[in-house]
Amino acid sequence: MDLQQDLAGITCPVATPFDDANEIDDDAFTDLLDHLVSGGIDAVFPNGTTGEFASLSPDERRRVLELTVDQIDGDVPVVAGAGATSVAETLEYVDEAAELGADAAVVVPPYFHAANAPAGNERFFEAVADEASLPLLLYNIPACTGGEIAVETVAAVAEHENVIGLKDSSGDLEYFLAAMRATPDDFLLLQGYDALLLPSLRMGADGGVNALSNAVPEAYSELYETAESERGATLQDAIADLFEACGTYGFAPATKAALEDRDVIPSDAVRPPLVTVPEDGREAIEDAVEGVLEA
């Protein structure tokens, strides 16, 4: 598998459906994966932020990945979340992902005890990359980790043979473009902030990793294919209203509300500390989903 080629497109950070007992709903999860593949998604990313990985036990994270690999069955690449706060635990998740058949892993900088200097994140990523049993994507999400991965750190770590790209969810287009300029041409730059997907693609991004591609994968797939045309701009405008709901209610709750609205999953349940979208918010999300599908 040529990941530099196969991850150029739209990767979906898969939501983790829960049942009424707040346990992982296996059937809903596999139905969601079928919905994504049939909708044209190019890769799937279980155990990410939208998948509420931080609210899952290690056994549940393993179960999510097992279900993903089995259901996807090689149709598209599986990029496994391996977020953790230590080198050792991160490597455990990477090794588990390799054992279960994932194609790559996503690593975040340590959170809670965040780096006290950019060199700290560089040391962390290089220590993981030196021992990693899978190719790695860096994940810049400063809102959740307490700080960004400095562009200089991305550039330094990009030289490592096991580090193949960056998912940037900072929402800072200037940062994204600076990372693009600072890294080799074959280093994957994936836009994780849905509202910036089209401008990033037009500036040379390789693709996106976008929460709302769970709900409307066909729209994201078409946007990627038509990014240089007016059609792409129309789709980005339609997605903007749906993305606004994520900013208001959170990515996992808003995504699950949209998925329930489309009858892809039976419940929009989320785990603490998240709460579900209130009724007035659900109406806005339903209208926004309809707007995307009719665009």
**HEC readout, 215-256:** CCHHHHHHHHHCCCCHHHHHHHHHHHHHHHHHHHHCHHHHHH
Q: Can you list the alpha helix ranges (DSSP code H) found in the chain?
A: 3-6, 26-38, 58-72, 87-100, 118-131, 142-145, 151-157, 173-182, 197-202, 217-225, 230-249, 251-261, 279-294
Which one is catalytic: 93, 139, 193, 220? 139
Using alpha carbons, select from 72, 2, 71, 80 the residue that is nearest to residue 45. Answer: 80
Which one is catalytic: 167, 175, 220, 256? 167
**167 is known as an active-site residue:** yes
Backbone angles phi, psi at 60, to 5 degrees: -70, -40
Find out whether 190 and 11 touch, Cβ atoms under 8 Å.
yes
Q: CA–CA distance from 257 to each of 34, 66, 228, 269 (Å)?
A: 18, 25, 30, 9
Q: CA–CA distance from 229 to each of 154, 204, 235, 293 (Å)?
A: 31, 14, 10, 18
Q: Is the peptide bond before 266 cis (omega within 30 degrees of 0)?
A: no
Catalytic residues: 139, 167
